[in-house]
Amino acid sequence: MQYENAKDILPASLLEEVQKYAEGKAIYIPKRTKTKGWGEASGYRDKLNKRNTAICGRYSAGASIMELSEEFFLSPESIKKIVYGKKIDLPEYSPSVYSAEQYSNAGLGEEWVRIYLENAKVKMPDISHYFLSELVKIPLRLIEETDSATDTEYERSSVDIPLIILFKHHRFRVLCGGNYLNCLIKEKKNAHQAFIFVPNEEYGIYMNNFGKQFQRHC
């Protein structure tokens, strides 16, 4: 290993501080720990990989896109992205429709939602028990306001952010973004981009009544 003179590398102030502890000594400075990729620490990525592997295996065995969509509670578009394996370079995450669109186009809409909810300190529904829609445009008149959609002052960002919606008991409710929804309503918006969680047992009801009507944003 080649040694370097600390005075040629470190700023004078930092060198002076190091000298207090190791003056005249040869020391080794280890590399920083490699940052884990998305979903590695929580096991989320491994869970998705196993699910996607199962989907590809069933597709290779002759299952159709629609059969896989119903079996795994994913939209046909999501199934196609998984089995066709199209690779898309993702941009840096940001709480915006643009970023959500890029993730969704790459078949990773779930990952964008996970990061967004994690930053908002909202628990994400278990993907093994819920269907998560593509990024769609939902008419705001269908969404019922909840306790999170209060009259509290909320500074509307110039950047559009998807709503996170829960469809349960045949009703659309805000899971995250209630105050933002209020702002959109005050602006007289008719529809807005959203990801929609649906319990697996209500998947058929959602798809028959709404899933085929909502406009995909991507």
Residue 118's pLDDT is: 86
**b (16+ CB within 10 A) / e for 119-158:** eeeeebbebeebbbbbbbebebeebeeeebbeeeeeeeee
What DSSP character marks residue 177?
-
Residue 33's pLDDT is: 52
Inform me whether the pLDDT recorded for 109 exceeds 60.
Answer: yes
Inform me whether the pLDDT recorded for 24 exceeds 60.
Answer: yes
The span from the CA of 148 to the CA of 140, in Å, is 16
Residue 91's pLDDT is: 61
- Beta strands 171-176 and 143-144, pairing class: parallel
Residue 169's pLDDT is: 92
**Which two tokens mark 150?**
């209060």
Q: What is the pLDDT of residues 195-205, one digit of tens each?
A: 999 999 998 89
Residue 36's pLDDT is: 45
Structure pTM? 0.61
Residue 172's pLDDT is: 95
Residue with tokens 């959109």: 184
Q: What is the pLDDT of residues 36-90, one digit of tens each?
A: 444 444 466 677 777 888 888 788 878 898 888 888 877 788 888 888 875 555 5
Residue 35's pLDDT is: 45
Q: What is the pLDDT of residues 129-187, one digit of tens each?
A: 898 888 999 999 999 865 444 444 446 667 899 999 999 999 999 998 888 888 888 89
